[in-house]
């Protein structure tokens, strides 16, 4: 049985003993389409935070056919951090779903986390998801959600309708089904 559980709304992620939640191995990826302004900062943030969450980790940049300098920056980051940072390049923009599939496919480790490449989420928030995953009920999937959506009203309405449809037709009880965390 697959359980999907929301991450707790706590300030720090801890295991039952009070120690920060850690995992042995973690693959972290993010799709990036024309994100030259964000790629280096997000990788820097990940390299700072992930050692506190996992014993071994990797960072995968999925460049989805960017036409700016995203590919060049991703390759520079890969060269500067061999064995830790990798880049997957789509020659043309294939869309968000294809970028997610590429990220999951490129992941080497059994535990995989992702966020968008536009830095709407903090890599440290993955600690909350890891802590929830380590809870006694051990859900297979932990889905994050945005407490305050920064979307226009029409997008919020669409998101609520989409969530309701997923609940009615598929029984999916996820607070923010299109949250990229």
Q: Quick one: pLDDT at residue 30?
A: 96
Q: Using CA atoms, how far apart are residues 132 and 142, in angstroms rounded to an integer?
A: 7
Return the structure tokens found at 154.
């029409």
Identify the pLDDT of residue 120: 83
What pLDDT, on a 0 to 100 scale, did the predictor assign at position 3?
44
The residues facing 120 across adjacent strands are none
Q: Where are the beta strands (DSSP E) in 21-132?
A: 23-32, 54-64, 85-90, 112-114
pTM: 0.81
Per-residue pLDDT of the chain (181 residues; tens, 9 = 90+): 334 444 444 334 444 444 457 899 999 999 999 999 999 999 999 999 999 999 999 999 999 999 999 999 999 999 999 999 999 999 999 999 999 999 999 999 999 999 989 888 899 989 999 998 888 998 888 876 666 766 788 878 887 888 888 889 988 777 666 666 5
> Helix (H, G, I), strand (E, B), or coil: what is residue 142?
strand
At 2, give phi and psi (nearest 5°): -100, 130
- What local confidence, expressed as pLDDT, does residue 9 receive? 42
């Amino acid at each position: 049985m697959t359980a999907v559980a929301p991450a707790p709304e706590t300030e720090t992620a801890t295991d039952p003993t009070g120690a920060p939640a850690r995992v042995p191995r973690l693959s972290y990826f993010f799709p990036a389409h024309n994100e030259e302004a964000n790629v280096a900062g997000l990788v820097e943030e990940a390299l700072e935070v992930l050692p506190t969450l996992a014993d071994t980790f990797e960072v995968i940049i999925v460049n989805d056919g960017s036409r700016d300098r995203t590919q060049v920056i991703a390759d520079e980051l890969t060269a500067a951090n061999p064995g830790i940072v990798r880049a997957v390049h789509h020659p043309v923009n294939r869309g968000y779903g294809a970028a997610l599939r590429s990220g999951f496919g490129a992941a080497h480790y059994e535990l995989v986390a992702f966020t968008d490449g536009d830095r709407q989420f903090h890599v440290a928030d993955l600690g909350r998801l890891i802590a929830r995953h380590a809870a006694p009920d051990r859900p297979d999937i932990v889905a994050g959600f945005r407490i305050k959506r920064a979307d226009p009203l029409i997008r919020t309405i669409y998101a609520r309708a989409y969530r309701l449809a997923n609940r009615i037709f598929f029984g999916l009880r996820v607070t923010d089904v299109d949250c990229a965390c």
